[in-house]
A and B are shown apart, each in its own frame.
Chain A
Amino acid sequence: MKTSNTTEVANTKDEVFITHIFNAPREVVFKAWTEPEQLLRWFAPDGCTIDFKNINVQTGGTFHSCIHDPQFGDCWCKGTYLEVIYPEKLVYTMALTDEHGNDLESAVDAGKDANMPRETVLTVTFAEYGNQTKLTLHQTMPEDIAKQTGAYQSWIKMLHKLEELV
């Protein structure tokens, strides 16, 4: 399931790790990630739209967004920008909430899979790559999932082995 030959995906024990080459200078790519009016243009998943109740992209700033999904309804999300370093790095947290920004007791309330994490940390780095940008996205697994699965690390290793058999 490759979308393009410039995307690499590697899943380690408990995190998502993706790199992708974008055909634009990194200042342009960074701004697309950090300017609210640009985020509105591309950040929502296919067929959905996104709104920001508030968004303040700077270190220590927060956002509160809503993705409108015609199939599943609204999904509210909030987070905090831990690091915003133009044009090279963006670190933020993300958690599901309700419309008022209260943490959801459980992700199930948001109509998501029960295994959906409560809070995850995203680290996005932008490296110059000629006149392109190499973006690396790293998303950590939230603790409650890690706890649920016990020794997740060894487990995932095994899972990969088993995948060849299933």
Chain B
Amino acid sequence: MIIRRDVYQAIADPTRREIIERISQQPLNLNAVAETFDISRQAVSRHIKILMECELVVIRQKGRERYCEAKLEKLHEVADWVDQYKKHWLSRFKALDNYLTEIQTNTKTDENK
């Protein structure tokens, strides 16, 4: 059983997605995060630990409080494959536009196939 620690692992769990959503607006102190869930504080801490290991969350000490802060840049990895292909197709469409212009201005289009 390999322990994966990446953004996919982080968001595979609904509680963890919920945690990210809550702290995405503003950092919250750890107790405030834990209080809003029906699960034990320990369980919430475990999820936060995983989120830290996946580099989606950092804990900052402010005075006596510990704040949980979201690092959302990592999330873009998830959208990457869609973006990757989108860019890919847009550049191909451009190439096809050029190609179609080329063959249509050239009256000797290849019709013999």
Contacts and interface: CB of A to CB of B under 8 A. Distances in A.
Interface stretch (A27-35, A58-66, A85-93, A95-103): A27-35
B95 interface: yes
Interface residues of B, number: 43
Residue of B21, B91, B93 ringed by the most chain A CB atoms within 10 A? B93
Interface of B: 8, 11-14, 17, 20-21, 24-25, 72-73, 75-82, 84-101, 103-104, 109-110, 113
A72 interface: no
Nearest to B88: A45
Interface of A: 1, 3-4, 7, 9, 11, 14-16, 18, 20, 22-24, 28-29, 31-32, 35, 37-38, 41-43, 45-46, 113, 115-117, 120, 135, 137, 139, 141, 145, 148-151, 154-156, 158-159, 162, 165-166
A148 B85 CA distance: 18
A46 B113 CA distance: 27
Given A9-B86, A11-B79, A115-B81, 4 more contacts: A3-B90, A16-B86, A116-B81, A151-B14
Contacts of B95: 42-43, 46
B11 A37 contact: no
A37 B103 CA distance: 13
A46 to B, nearest CB: 6
Given A116-B81, A141-B81, A150-B13, A166 B72 contact: yes
A121 B103 CA distance: 29
Contacts of B73: 166
A120 B76 CA distance: 21
Contact of B8 (A45, A141, A148): A148
Nearest to B94: A3
B12 A32 contact: no
A159 B20 CA distance: 11
B85 A16 contact: yes
Given A145-B81, A148-B12, A165-B72, A41 B90 contact: no
